[in-house]
Amino acid sequence: MMGDSAIKPSVQIVIGPAVNTSTHSQTHQNDNGKPSKSQILTQLHAGYFSICISLSAQALLWKSLSENKMDSQALWHAFNVLPSIAFLLLWGLSVSIAASLSFLYILRCSFHFDLVKTEFLHHIGGNYMYAPWISWLLILESAPMTVPRFFYQGLCWILSVPILVLDVKLYGQWFTTDKRFLSVVGNPVSQISVIGNLVAAQVMAGTGWKESAVSMFSLGFAHYLILFVTLYQHLTSSNRFPTVQRPAYFLFFAAPSMASLAWKSISGIFDTPSKMLFFLSLFLFVSLVGSQLIQIPHLNCK
């Protein structure tokens, strides 16, 4: 892949917001010890958009629950008691954070394009390039107000095209570049690219573009199967997965759960394929939680 000199700074960009991206950034501090604007831009990376994904996903969940007000089941009545202002605050918070991060990242691209390029070429950081588009698609889908159809469709295409462009670039490298074969650079964070395709498929299905939704779904799900088999085998590679990124293992059940929702949006009902994907994600979730609980006594013994 890349030499050590190219990997080390990009690892610092991707892994931790508390880690400086270069020794040069340490000099960009104010007299009171606070980080300067230049230091903020150098330490910023696309992984911060995971915050927006989490908030917008919760807003979408709240919106889905609120759409069942006419349901006679007591479970839904319990959710309807919750104040709607909480959903508006949650959605507004996700929009404000996404807008702030987007503005800062545009500045980063303008003034520190070399760091953005290094981040994009890294085997972990490149996958986070999907995160901004995923977050904005989820924000669009969870919008509390009624968006005009033509405006909704236009935003859907604007946010989905970059995901397709990233697919061509990333998946093409897996096929054609010797040092970037999936067996070499594959890691749990690679599943973010799959989630991006599935989110785009779900939003497209909401606009009525069933064929486009099916195409994005098939692209994402096919690569999820390939990723799952590759990561399950634990092939050895020179690119070790950092310990600080261990929470990314929970993306294993995020992808099939998102596929379940996307297929439900495409088919219109929660049919057998959606249930199969849901139970797969549930099994993977239980497996990951169980494996972590088993390791806790082992760590205490040490």
Global pTM reads 0.79
Other Cβ atoms less than 10 A from the Cβ of 20: the count is 17
Q: Residue 83 pLDDT > 50, yes or no?
A: yes
Mean pLDDT of the chain: 78
Predicted local distance difference test score (pLDDT) of residue 112: 86
CA distance 158 to 139: 14
Would you place residue 200 in the very low, low, confident or very high pLDDT band (cuts 50, 70, 90)? Answer: very high
Backbone angles phi, psi at 53, to 5 degrees: -60, -45
Q: What integer is the mean pLDDT of 175-196?
A: 82
CA distance 62 to 84: 9
CA distance 216 to 152: 18
- What phi-psi label fits residue 92: left (phi over 0), alpha (psi between -120 and 50 degrees) or beta? alpha
Q: Residue 244 pLDDT > 70, yes or no?
A: no
CA distance 104 to 37: 10
CA distance 126 to 119: 6
- pLDDT tens digit string along 252-298? 888 999 999 999 999 988 889 999 999 999 998 888 887 767 765 54
Q: Residue 103 pLDDT > 90, yes or no?
A: yes
Please list the alpha-helical segments (H only) found in 177-250: 182-185, 191-207, 210-233
Please list the alpha-helical segments (H only) found in the chain: 4-15, 37-43, 50-66, 74-80, 84-111, 113-121, 131-141, 149-176, 182-185, 191-207, 210-233, 251-267, 272-301
Q: Residue 100 pLDDT > 80, yes or no?
A: yes
Residue type, 246: R
Q: What integer is the mean pLDDT of 6-33?
A: 41
Backbone angles phi, psi at 35, to 5 degrees: -65, 140
Predicted local distance difference test score (pLDDT) of residue 293: 73
